Chains A and B, each alone.
Chain A
Amino acid sequence: GEDVEQSLFLSVREGDSSVINCTYTDSSSTYLYWYKQEPGAGLQLLTYIFSNMDMKQDQRLTVLLNKKDKHLSLRIADTQTGDSAIYFCAERGNYGQNFVFGPGTRLSVLP
């Protein structure tokens, strides 16, 4: 079945760039998403990308998609302490509502 994998932890220094990586298996995925979860809160959508795009930029966030390798990344420029959270990658196929989430990457931003 479909699977989404992420590394579980990432630590960066404040002001540096963070890159969170994700791989997925479903080649029919049409939309890929990045969600952020802060402690004690629900998941909040950060951004999403359609599968026919290679890149999407939104302020400090850059999403890169390599469809051939089924690899998605989220780059956060000028990482701040407020960016400390768990980041989930998710994919959805063209039909149905089967969103598949990765295990989440816990980002720690060190001062």
Chain B
Amino acid sequence: DAGVIQSPRHEVTEMGQEVTLRCKPISGHDYLFWYRQTMMRGLELLIYFNNNVPIDDSGMPEDRFSAKMPNASFSTLKIQPSEPRDSAVYFCASGQGVSGANVLTFGAGSRLTVL
């Protein structure tokens, strides 16, 4: 398996523009997580899905952020309009099952810079 695949790896955009980050989880994993990492706030959980259904979106900063998972092999995180304070590395992670260790596997991340 190629692991969790995220795109783009780097994105530079201007304030006010729409940003879409994409994630392909590991096949067979039924949990998908979106995290944001910054120097100031560390690793923050934004939202997670189980079987394509959003379970907890309490970490989504505000209405400018939205996430979808139309099928088991694809998820998007959209920021519209983007602001400089959204600059961060966004990670997608997937995991399997509720019982047991349910190890998370992370993607390489998407580094977003909003000018």
A contact set with B: CB distance below 8 Å: 31, 33, 35, 40-45, 48, 50, 88, 92, 95-99, 101-104
| B56 surroundings in chain A (CB, below 8 A) | 96-98
Binds A, one of B12-20, B43-51, B66-74, B78-86: B43-51
Closest chain B CB from A48 CB (angstroms): 5
| B98 surroundings in chain A (CB, below 8 A) | 95-97
| A41 surroundings in chain B (CB, below 8 A) | 108-109
Structural contact, B108 and A101, CB atoms closer than 8 A: no
A98 vs B33: C-alpha distance when bound (angstroms): 10
| A101 surroundings in chain B (CB, below 8 A) | 42-43
Counting chain B residues whose Cβ lies within 8 A of the other chain, the interface size class is 20 to 34
Closest chain B CB from A90 CB (angstroms): 8
Structural contact, B43 and A88, CB atoms closer than 8 A: yes
B contact set with A: CB distance below 8 Å: 4, 31, 33, 42-43, 45, 48, 50, 55-56, 91, 93, 95, 98, 101-109
A43 vs B33: C-alpha distance when bound (angstroms): 13
Given contacts A42-B108, A45-B103, contact A99 B42 (CB under 8 A): no
Structural contact, A97 and B95, CB atoms closer than 8 A: yes
* Pairs across A and B, CB under 8 Å, 22 listed: A33-B101, A33-B103, A35-B106, A40-B108, A41-B109, A42-B93, A42-B106, A42-B108, A43-B43, A43-B93, A45-B105, A88-B43, A92-B102, A95-B98, A96-B56, A97-B102, A98-B45, A99-B33, A99-B45, A99-B104, A101-B42, A101-B43
Closest chain A CB from B36 CB (angstroms): 12
Closest chain A CB from B84 CB (angstroms): 22
A44 vs B45: C-alpha distance when bound (angstroms): 17
| A45 surroundings in chain B (CB, below 8 A) | 103-105
Closest chain B CB from A7 CB (angstroms): 14
Given contacts A42-B91, A48-B101, A97-B50, contact A103 B42 (CB under 8 A): yes
